[in-house]
Amino acid sequence: MRIDIVTLFPEFFTSPLQTSLLGKAIANQIAEVHLTNPRDFTTDKHHRVDDEPYGGGVGMLMKPDPIFAAVESLPSLPQREIIYLTPQGEPMKQELFKELVKYDQLVLICGSYEGIDERVCEHLVTREVSLGDFVLTCGEIPALALINGVVRLRPGTVGKEESLKFESFEDGLLDYPQYTRPPVFRGWEVPEVLRSGNHKLIAEWRKEQQLLRTQQRRPDLL
């Protein structure tokens, strides 16, 4: 899988793309990530990527021409999605990651200022995605979240791929509580059923806990 990030701040990704499982996946060529700065495609002497919005308003907008030029400079693989990270997009969910992991190429456009010229969304972008119902200073943060969520689903990223089947949202429920050693910590004990060795009872307890936790924390999922 090839991931292209169109960003004014390529240095934002330096450490995260070299860290933990994501860094190992990229090092092992499970996914490749390329950074493209639209400022490199400006034609004026000041390398401006923003301008005032027509009709007035507060703040500046990213101009369309550097973004189009940046994306059009990239190779185009057969199955490609061009994604703009914006609060106006569809919510970022596990089902979305499972869909996007099947693509050959993801092009992620990170907005800044008050957003981007609408012509980019109308004539270049194929999907808009939101990290949540809030506003951040830039699109780099949701882009990194999307990369992490997608790449971890690629074969070889997670050591035990079986573990991907038993986590929050995989079956429409939140995950169950989990414990490790010691069996007693500051007087708080690990539930006895988990120490019983009875796999049938453990499975039943975990399902009950999933339902209970989802009902308490995310009843909208039920």
Q: Are residues 15 and 114 in the same domain?
A: yes
Number of independent structural domains in the chain: 2
- At 129-184, the pLDDT tens digits run 999 999 999 999 999 999 999 999 999 998 656 556 656 676 789 999 999 999 99
Q: Are residues 172 and 82 in the same domain?
A: no
Do the domain assignments include residue 156?
Answer: no
209: pLDDT strictly greater than 90: yes
Give the domain extent around 15.
2-151
Question: What DSSP letter does each residue of 23-71 carry, written as one string?
Answer: HHHHHTTSSEEEEE-GGGG--STT---EEPPTT--SS-EE-HHHHHHHH
Q: Rounded mean pLDDT of 180-200?
A: 96
Q: Are residues 69 and 132 in the same domain?
A: yes
pTM of the model as a whole = 0.90
- At 77-86, the pLDDT tens digits run 999 999 999 9
Do the domain assignments include residue 159?
Answer: no
Per-residue tokens: 159: 């050591």
| Inter-axis angle of helices 140-151 and 20-27, nearest 10 | 70
Do the domain assignments include residue 157?
Answer: no
